[in-house]
């Protein structure tokens, strides 16, 4: 195996290991942290604070997409477990409310967050990692 390939395989393993540690709480902390909070707040729709406000819903959805299971049921179950671990009362494990809340996520907020995240990744990437870096 060439040196470059070995480094690539090791990097892929490190990334896979980190991805396994990511859950909805991690995403919630990122979304409400200083780098993204202004974007999130600028795109939040009018909403009532219910079981699944937009930031919680988006956090759960991002965690869901990163999980090996990937099901709505698993996302809701994880949210209930996290509530109990944080000393809050559990809520229903029915997925209906979460699925409806996911449909209500503002597309403009998701697009703005993706754009901002992509720009930050691009700005911090090493030059040889960038697409068309040699041109």
Which pLDDT score is estimated for 6?
77
pLDDT > 90: what percent of the chain? Answer: 22
What tokens does 25 get?
Answer: 């709480």
Q: How confident is the model at residue 4 (pLDDT cuts 50, 70, 90)?
A: low
User: What mean pLDDT is predicted for residues 111-117?
Assistant: 85
Task: Return d(Cα 31, Cα 39) in angstroms, integer.
Answer: 9
User: What mean pLDDT is predicted for residues 78-105?
Assistant: 92
Q: Are 43 and 109 in contact (CB under 8 A)?
A: yes
Query: Long-range contacts of range 74-78, CB-CB < 8 Å, 24 or more positions apart?
Result: 75/24, 78/23, 78/24
Q: How confident is the model at residue 41 (pLDDT cuts 50, 70, 90)?
A: confident
Which pLDDT score is estimated for 95?
96
Give the three-state DSSP class for 90: coil
User: What mean pLDDT is predicted for residues 38-58?
Assistant: 82
Task: Return d(Cα 46, Cα 63) in angstroms, integer.
Answer: 24
Query: What is the rounded (10 degree) CA torsion for 81, 41, 115, 74?
Result: 10
Which pLDDT score is estimated for 15?
65
Q: How confident is the model at residue 17 (pLDDT cuts 50, 70, 90)?
A: low
* Beta-sheet strands, E only, within the chain: none
Task: Return d(Cα 30, Cα 59) in angstroms, integer.
Answer: 9
User: What mean pLDDT is predicted for residues 104-120?
Assistant: 86
């Amino acid at each position: 195996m060439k040196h470059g390939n070995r480094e690539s395989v090791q990097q892929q393993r490190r990334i896979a290991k980190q991805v396994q540690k990511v859950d909805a709480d991690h995403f919630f902390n990122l979304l409400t942290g200083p780098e993204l909070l202004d974007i999130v707040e600028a795109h939040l729709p009018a909403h009532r604070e219910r079981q699944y406000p937009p930031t919680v819903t988006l956090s759960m959805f991002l965690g869901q997409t990163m999980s090996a299971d990937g099901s709505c049921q698993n996302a809701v179950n994880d949210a209930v477990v996290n509530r109990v671990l944080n000393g809050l009362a559990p809520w229903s494990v029915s997925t209906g409310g979460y699925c409806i809340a996911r449909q209500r996520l503002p597309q403009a907020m998701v697009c703005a967050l993706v754009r901002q995240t992509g720009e930050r990744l691009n700005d911090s990437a090493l030059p040889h990692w960038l697409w068309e870096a040699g041109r």
